């Protein structure tokens, strides 16, 4: 068991839950050097193994490129690590249920226990505020920094017409938040459909958010789902290796 292996498995867990498809990535601040981070080479998440993990400085230059292709949107990771010393892991994804909330005025709100963190606030990054128009991916330090500034001290931000970014203090935290952000968006859409245009939806209030999150943090309730998903992903990765031999 190592953090590099956990990072490779995180790609697979996110793919398994439909949070990432052929695109999307997760990074970890280097445990050895906080001025660096670890990210896969440009590859579909379901294929990532430990051998694909590369090291980058916070300006998102690879430490040793070795001719490998790298993600265009790596600046999301580097610039957020610069702005947020509390952040140890970052996920960028295009998870489908979240996208409608980035293109409308309907706000994501805390709807259920496991996604209580939504109640801390999920701002929307409008890329037109930072570039006139054009390609909407975050492929420069300027856009990465702008996204980080919109994120502020929040756990996640939506990216209009694109996806979202999710941050946390560990790999398990950021993987689990990404999975439950997708589920939360889907459930909120369902609640809105059932309630109808004028219908009432009861969301978690501020105190419910605070006390639910405090219990989750102190009891490390994430451990159970993380251990389950991690062991499933490890089994699949090990089986693939056996087949290749």
Provide the annotated active-site residues: 73
Burial of 91 (0-12, 13-18, 19+ CB in 10 A): buried
Q: How far apart are CA 185 and CA 30, in angstroms?
A: 31
Please state the φ and ψ torsions of residue 38, each to the nearest 5 degrees.
Answer: -110, 135
Q: Give the pair of three-digit tokens for residue 227.
A: 């251990």
Q: How far apart are the first and last CA of the chain?
A: 21
Question: What sign does the dihedral 166-54-137-25 (CA atoms) show?
Answer: negative
């Amino acid at each position: 068991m190592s953090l590099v292996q956990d990072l490779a498995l995180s790609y697979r867990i996110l793919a398994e839950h439909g949070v990432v498809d052929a695109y999307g990535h997760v990074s970890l601040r280097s445990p050895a050097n906080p001025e660096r981070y670890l990210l896969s080479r440009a590859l579909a998440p379901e294929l990532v193994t430990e051998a694909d993990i590369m090291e980058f400085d916070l300006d998102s230059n690879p430490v040793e490129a070795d001719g490998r292709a790298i993600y265009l949107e790596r600046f999301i990771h580097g610039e957020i690590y610069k702005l947020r010393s509390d952040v140890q892991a970052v996920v960028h994804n295009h998870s489908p249920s979240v996208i409608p909330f980035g293109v409308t005025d309907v706000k994501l709100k805390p709807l259920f226990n496991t996604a209580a963190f939504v109640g801390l606030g999920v701002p929307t990054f409008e890329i037109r505020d930072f570039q006139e128009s054009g390609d909407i991916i975050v492929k420069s330090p300027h856009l990465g920094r702008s996204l980080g500034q919109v994120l502020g001290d929040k756990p996640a931000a939506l990216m209009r017409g694109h996806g979202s970014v999710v941050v946390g203090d560990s790999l398990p935290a950021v993987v689990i938040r990404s999975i439950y952000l997708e589920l939360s968006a889907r459930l909120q859409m369902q609640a809105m459909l059932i309630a109808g245009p004028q219908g009432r939806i009861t969301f978690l209030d501020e105190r419910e958010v605070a006390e639910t999150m405090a219990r989750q943090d102190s009891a490390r309730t994430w451990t159970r789902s993380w251990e389950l998903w991690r062991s499933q992903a490890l089994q699949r990765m090990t089986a693939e290796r056996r087949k290749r031999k």
